[in-house]
Amino acid sequence: MFTANEYYKKTFGHKMYKASISINVTCPNRDGTKGTGGCIFCSGQGSGEFASDGDNISLQIDEAIARVSSKAGNEAGYIAYFQSYTNTYCSSDYLRKCINEALSHPMIEAISIATRPDCLGEDILEVLSECAAKVPLFVELGLQTSSDKTAKLINRGYETYVYPKAVRDLKAIGANVITHVILGLPGEDISDMEDTVRMVAASGSDGIKFTCLYVLKGTMLADMYARGEFVTLEMEEYFDIVFDLIKLLPDNMVIHRLTGDGPKNLLIAPDWTRNKRAVLNYMNRRFGL
């Protein structure tokens, strides 16, 4: 298994940390263009619950670095992570301005941008290409599932066929592509999850992020959970699935995350994700990290 830490050390020569920041964007399935309410699992922060908030990008980076500096040490490097919502769902001029401000920070060595496969117009790709020519650029695509049936249920707002083209377009401009996948979505079984991972493996994506579906207060998913329409995965059940899915990936694909954790003040389920230390210890034993 090729981990993100191994990849970063090989690429940058030292450990890397992400400085999560927010910019003034939303999502096309929030503002009415393709839907409202966002994906059913997203809280009001649009999957950026741990990002800083504010218009001053340099200040956000300073704050993010300050939070991890004690454990990062003096040798660490930092990636400016545009995390919340869809960060290419804006004008190309605004995106260029935000990227350039992040790049002006002396501690930033790379850029990572979270977005959707359907929000990569030619003007946006031009801005991303400019960035990739200056520093390593990571673009994180929220695929979640290859099933259009599930995509409709979770209010993803785009059809799966756009994903492979998005990967090709990003690779063509020199971006490193990371694909997000959620395991345990309502109505999906192991064959659906295998289909998703096979699609990611075949797409040419450079990396993958796995996460267990977690239920947050105030989301449409929370209402479904309260009605008993699905159950979340138990810890060993989840990692059994991950263990099998990893076997479907190319040897050179970087695994950036084996699971995620939601904010404890919003988390409803699964309860095991609250104990991050226990989860990390289990992963270390199970996967030899």
Tens of pLDDT, residue by residue over 24-45, are: 999 999 999 999 999 999 987 5
Region for 228 from its dihedrals, namely left if φ exceeds 0, alpha if ψ lies in -120 to 50, beta otherwise: left
Domain total of the chain: 1
pLDDT by position in tens, the chain (length 289): 899 999 999 999 999 999 999 999 999 999 999 999 999 999 875 454 444 455 799 999 999 999 999 899 889 999 999 999 999 999 999 999 999 999 999 999 999 999 999 999 999 999 999 999 999 999 999 999 999 999 999 999 999 999 999 999 999 999 999 999 999 999 999 999 999 999 999 999 999 999 999 999 999 999 999 999 999 999 999 999 999 999 999 999 999 999 988 899 999 999 999 999 999 999 999 998 7
Token look-up 């690429």 returns 11
Token look-up 């977690």 returns 214
How far apart CA 30 and CA 44 sit, in angstroms, is 10
How far apart CA 43 and CA 210 sit, in angstroms, is 19
How far apart CA 117 and CA 205 sit, in angstroms, is 12
Range of the domain at 127: 2-287
How far apart CA 261 and CA 107 sit, in angstroms, is 27
CATH code of the domain covering residue 220: 3.20.20.70
Condensed to tens digits (0 to 9), the pLDDT of residues 247-284 reads 999 999 999 999 988 899 999 999 999 999 999 999 99
Q: How many CB atoms lie within 10 A of CB 171?
A: 16
How far apart CA 186 and CA 57 sit, in angstroms, is 37
Query: Pairing relation of β-strands 2-3 and 254-257?
Result: parallel
